[in-house]
Amino acid sequence: MANMIYGSICLSDVPKELFKKVTVKSGEEKIFLNIKIVPRKAAGKYGHTHFVSCEPRKEERVEGKNYIIGDMKEFEPQSSKISSEQVEAAPSVNINDLPF
């Protein structure tokens, strides 16, 4: 299975002129934003390993403008297995004490 990454983007940081209205096959008008997800050279302070950048066309770019709009990191699923220590530490329940 491929590694998944997750994170968030700040929509208020996206220059409004980069949102594009497109009419799709069904005739509906949808709004799109071109983005790029880039691996960082080193993990950031909070473990972020990637950043998200909006990607304007060459003719739309402003020299010196920062288009980074979010951070991401690898998704690490939590184990759902219960250890024997957890079982032993769980409180015991008397079936006669149950309210039903």
Return the domain boundaries, the chain: 5-79
CB-based contact 33:14 (threshold 8 Å): yes
pLDDT in tens, 42-70: 988 888 999 999 988 888 888 888 888 99
| Beta-strand pair 35-39/50-54 | antiparallel
Query: What is the distance between the alpha carbons of residues 78 and 74, in angstroms, rounded to a whole number?
Result: 13
Mark out the alpha helices in 1-100 (DSSP H runs).
Answer: 84-89
Confidence at residue 2, expressed as pLDDT on a 0 to 100 scale = 57
Q: Which residues of 44-74 are buried (b: 16+ CB within 10 A; e: fewer)?
A: eeeebbbbbbbebeeeeeeeeeebebbbbbe
Q: Tell me, yes or no, if the pTM score tops 0.75.
A: no
Q: What is the pLDDT along the chain (100 residues), one digit of tens a residue?
A: 457 888 999 989 888 889 999 999 999 999 999 999 999 999 888 889 999 999 888 888 888 888 889 999 888 777 667 777 777 777 766 666 666 5
Confidence at residue 7, expressed as pLDDT on a 0 to 100 scale = 92
Coil vs helix vs strand at 54: strand
Query: What is the distance between the alpha carbons of residues 3 and 8, in angstroms, rounded to a whole number?
Result: 17
